Chain A
């Protein structure tokens, strides 16, 4: 219903004689509406995506029109990879905005704040556009622009030499956010390098370990939308894997009557929305879960059919209760006895959650039955010594209720995640890098990445070539000063190459900083367990695709990216090609096109192969008269399976059944004496990838690996348990791990729209604690950790559990005066001093300040407080079993002392090293049975060849 202003006689006259500009001129034909008035639709129809005209909001007064090419890609701010549609202005080939992609099965056209904010990152006035090479000492902050050729040749030559000298273990690739499916594993295997290092052990490996012990899958995929009761040890209505897709479905479930319960000592937005908020004392969650379990057992609310079939209860009774007959009834009895102490009263005394609520929730979980959805993402499992017991006891509830893999229940992640087929699969590497998987941590679920500086300090090895990619340990990891020390030491790290779209604290200590594309400037394949389906999505460089649509021939993504910004996919192909110029290292062959003989593969071909081999995609593409690759370029996503549940019931293929026997009592299908499945309802079913093919209530693995006390789900008292606190001295457990809905670690500092919403991180403290300590809101406090302290402001609130403090980790970014201006919406300027012997001081000398740039908004910055960097004052706390860094810690809080300033940080890395050694003492090192480095059935990132799984001397049979 187009509006037309009717001018008064005076205005008409004034315009006609030219006294004032004519604002009533004809602005041309109106754009036809897609719908009848009042009936609005969400997105332009895909037929018009190549040539879509709409009014420009900013020129609305004059009905300005813009014509776009609409190209899908996926967001790269968090891990969810939600769909985005880029609106590319056909006039100047710039991205005007991002909206959601309605064809993305997980995000369904909707996004969180970080999706549309991607456009800020593209136009960030401080982004790195050209390769930079260090001048002067590492960390001096001086850089010169170099060509990609020079950088690639330099790095490739160095790596070639290392590989020729069999120093394969001196090459490492350390990634923060992978954002792809399997790409790097292929590259590293092609190099024959056990060089994958990830951030997972500061993130999620605690929970992964607990889940894995049960059923060989390391993450949950709750089917929130169809559930009756949702239990979150997470804050999925604002953060986490996978915030937006999960938040949509949690709400869908709630609107359909599901109840939501949340454990969190802090009133998260999620806790605030919950029907039940359980402000638990951090680290006591497992006690609560076992109390729920006990009630479910005693009140017979469990799913007998599922448990009887799918739990390895016979093993348990035989090993632990030889006094009892092996019957299911006795199993229940034995469990009730095993968990006798977990009364509601005990749960309350440990966790602080009222016993009435404990009983209420337990019954609701029991009643929800197979429609019980649960998730533990980070939170307690990432904060506490023994945090993995939290997810283990949580999954126990799924097992009890028979909600494993059901509609409305909780599936293993892999059931809802697609495994792509690659054009070439290099053999597993023939190395085991003990810098990543040291023998002290045989069960560590991922690489002990956060101990790397200490391992280097101990002389366990060194790195010749060290790639960091979307990875900022100096800032994100605990103990950042130890990282600075390691990164500054040329003897320990020969060359550090930072692959990043934007400057960050770690890149200040690199030799090369190589600019890589943002979400819409790169290729990646995504697939995540967001709900009871399986999907893939295609992250693609949208300007490249727009150029292709215009008929331009583009060979490399950097041709359409700004400046000389590359994408990693092409970087690794090019680098691998140069490492092995003559093919003698056997690397080149893995980077040859499957479509053009002996020629270097290009990125289109790489994905072409995957899409051609994705079930159902070629057929779907054919319906649109497209190739699978073109279909993905056009729609950006594909649903491989619309529903995906109960895959443990899949029937074992006949071929695999050759030579099998069935154990009559357990119904296990045995091959070579080992279970490969279970006979259920007369058919051989695959079951779960555990030694028993069942859900392992009882874990022989834990016994074999010297942790018999944890053979069944247990509650492990955290290192921050109340009994370790001296309240009279100001001790508090600090919860430093929570996310905000608008920020994402160090990847969002370059977005103005996100940082204007959140830019400081005060310490949350309950009113009563503040009162006791004589602290007022906004007062400065000194938070003492075991290795130093930081000075922050206090946020006094009723939304925090008394006796606990919390501080978000997204905020407190910094640059030194000598560093390039970057992320100016988020960066404090700091002065760092060291005595050269481990004592470090950091002082914030300037907050966030308006300045001039290509973006006029930098001059309009209205905030000054850029928060405080807390993580750098944390020592490492490696869990001796899962290897997870236990983020929570005891801190001693006092009022700021005279001379303390907001943002001050002080650390002694000698103390960090001592804390590391203390925690190292808790380990029970390999070998395990048969001289194994690690249980053979455990998944491992970048799994090496099988002989590598044994320590020196190879497999040794039990004597």
Chain B
């Protein structure tokens, strides 16, 4: 038993009936869609055509959204339907990063993820999905792909079909007859905030709250004074910034660049989008970049301590001594930044009150769960270690420190595995991301010690060790960044991200924020200046640099349009 869809593009007339029937069946709020009809025009007059492509969840056999979902809010049924239960969803939006087809959205009504679920509530009582029923042209065929007698199996058997992004190995169960490459491949066309019949000037889904803010402003308008054009400009200016990422210039599609592309498209016979759904914006924003930083600090301080301790105890003549200040720095900063990590993680949820579901409704394949447990255990271990130090339980401390160190590594790097589960984001599929996370953790840990040392003396030999770590880590980091941005990206989308970072919209942030401020300057400072205030300042720069880097690394891939 395996339910699937065939979309027959020979018949689809682009009428949007399926879109609206779906809205009606599921009472989907405006701005977000479970299914819609993307429209693309191509060709030069009079040899032009407008292509219609019904896009929706592909009910993949290997659904990345199911794998990444930490709480089994998404699941694959025995009949092949990828369904969801919004009572379980915590609003972490990782499914939206995992789905290569951009099929999910945050429902502003429930603040949980949603998508096409093949009308499972209808299927279970023997009814066709609502979109199948309404289609004037019977262009949407549903049914059991496994049953050779079914209409869908017969249709598949007799027609050439395509699927979206087969290279993602998700095994989609949605097939297109006469599928159009220009429509099914997202980067063949540019997504802008205007289509032929519609436009977007405010956020939707997760960002619908910003439109609601406008509604609640209730500003009295002086009708004699207002000029719509300037008003439009102002509003688009500030709201686009708000809906997309909440941070200044972060419009997901980038209006100006889209316009440039459009001009380019008009000069050639490039395909062009003429209908598209609103942009859902950047879903993992500063909270996530912030969490990666705080986590790096928390893990880094313990990592350094453990290595220092190992070196100290492994060699008979200790070349350095670990003072109690260093230990307490590790314990306190480890716990404080771990707490901050947790707080940011919770804050990023659209259902923050359900944060415990990660631990209490675990879906073990999800790296969010593995990470969540690692963080929890890590926190417990630091606490135990702290207690052992405080109570002077030497044996306990000696044992605990290594276990803590092990978990510090996991805490430092697990996000790389989580990002790898986010199959929608090509740039995150890089195997170097693990090292990137680990090195950042070393840098962050070292930076933390440097900053503490400006206020509390931790010890010369420890400082030497920390400086050493910092120098090595920065060199390794720069080397890794070089690799990440040059040789590890096999896909167009990942290359586009690399381009965005090095030469595109992130170039200033990257070169000045990450590379110069976060690496070169602190490296030089640590190398040439011995003043603790200066090294402390270098540490601060490193942390700022890590934040910028993570901001770029997390935000830029999310600008790649998936539909």
Contact = CB atoms under 8 A, between A and B. Distances in A.
B267 to A, nearest CB: 8
Contact of A862 (B150, B226, B278, B359): B278
Given A1-B1, A40-B143, A861 B360 contact: no
Contacts of B111: none
A57 B24 CA distance: 10
Contacts of B144: 37-39
B17 interface: yes
A237 B133 contact: no
Nearest to B15: A741
**Interface residue range, chain B:** 35 or more
A857 interface: yes
Contact of A116 (B24, B83, B132): B24
A936 interface: no
B57 to A, nearest CB: 15
B499 interface: no
Interface stretch (A450-458, A473-481, A844-852, A883-891): A844-852
Contacts of A251: 11, 13, 136-137
A732 to B, nearest CB: 15
B202 interface: yes
Interface stretch (B113-121, B300-308, B518-526): B113-121
B123 A40 contact: yes
A134 B50 CA distance: 48
Interface stretch (A589-597, A634-642, A750-758): A750-758
A11 B227 CA distance: 58
B126 A3 contact: no
A817 to B, nearest CB: 5
Contacts of A113: 15-17, 19-21
Nearest to B26: A57
A123 B16 CA distance: 21
A555 interface: no
B75 A247 contact: no
Contact of A796 (B3, B211, B228, B266): B266
Contacts of B266: 767, 777, 796
A3 B117 CA distance: 13
A135 interface: no
Nearest to A357: B46
A23 B30 contact: no
B482 interface: no
Interface string B255-282: 0000100110010010000010010000
A944 to B, nearest CB: 41
Given A850-B202, A864-B235, A845 B29 contact: no
Contact of A247 (B120, B136, B199, B201): B136
Contacts of B262: 777
Nearest to B28: A753
B194 A778 contact: yes
A33 interface: yes
Contact of A117 (B24, B31, B50, B359): B24
Interface in A778-798: 778, 795-798
Given A1-B78, A20-B356, A753-B24, A41 B137 contact: no
A646 to B, nearest CB: 28
B11 A255 contact: yes
A110 B202 CA distance: 33
B360 A862 contact: no
A1 B77 contact: yes
A348 to B, nearest CB: 13
Main SS of the interface on chain A?
loop
Chain A CB count within 10 A is highest, among B14, B29, B48, B86, for B48
B508 interface: no
Interface stretch (B163-171, B215-223, B456-464, B489-497): B215-223
Interface string B222-262: 01101111011001100000000000000000000001001
Contacts of A762: 196
A100 B360 contact: no
B360 A14 contact: yes
A865 B29 contact: no
Nearest to B227: A901
B23 interface: yes
Interface string A659-690: 00000000000000000000000000000000
Max chain B Cβ within 10 angstroms of own Cβ: one of A270, A741, A850: A850
Contact of A798 (B41, B226, B227, B228): B41
B201 A862 contact: yes
B25 interface: yes
A657 interface: no
Given A38-B1, A852-B215, A56 B48 contact: no
Given A40-B126, A44-B127, A279-B46, A111 B17 contact: yes
A860 B85 contact: no
Nearest to A35: B126
Contacts of B275: 757
Nearest to A808: B197
B208 to A, nearest CB: 5
Given A42-B127, A845-B221, A849-B214, A865 B134 contact: no
A846 B19 contact: no
Contact of B360 (A10, A31, A247, A273): A10
A799 interface: yes
B108 interface: yes
Interface in A98-128: 98-100, 109-117, 119
Contacts of B208: 860, 862
Contacts of A40: 123, 126-128, 132, 142-143
A99 B359 CA distance: 42
A740 B24 contact: no
A2 B362 contact: no
A856 interface: yes
Interface stretch (A58-66, A391-399, A424-432): A58-66
B30 A7 contact: no
B122 interface: yes
Contacts of A756: 30-31, 198
Contact of B197 (A23, A44, A99, A740): A740
A23 B15 CA distance: 39
A322 interface: no
A187 to B, nearest CB: 35
A43 interface: yes
Given A99-B133, A116-B21, A34 B85 contact: no
Given A99-B130, A862-B203, A62 B87 contact: yes
Given A43-B133, A766-B45, 16 more contacts: A34-B126, A38-B3, A38-B150, A55-B121, A61-B85, A110-B133, A111-B21, A112-B15, A255-B10, A255-B11, A267-B50, A269-B52, A741-B14, A859-B211, A860-B31, A860-B108
In order of increasing CB-CB distance, the 3 nearest A-B pairs are: A34-B126, A38-B144, A35-B126
20 contacts: A1-B124, A3-B75, A32-B125, A38-B143, A38-B147, A40-B123, A55-B121, A99-B133, A100-B133, A116-B20, A741-B13, A796-B266, A798-B41, A846-B221, A847-B231, A850-B215, A852-B215, A857-B30, A860-B212, A901-B229
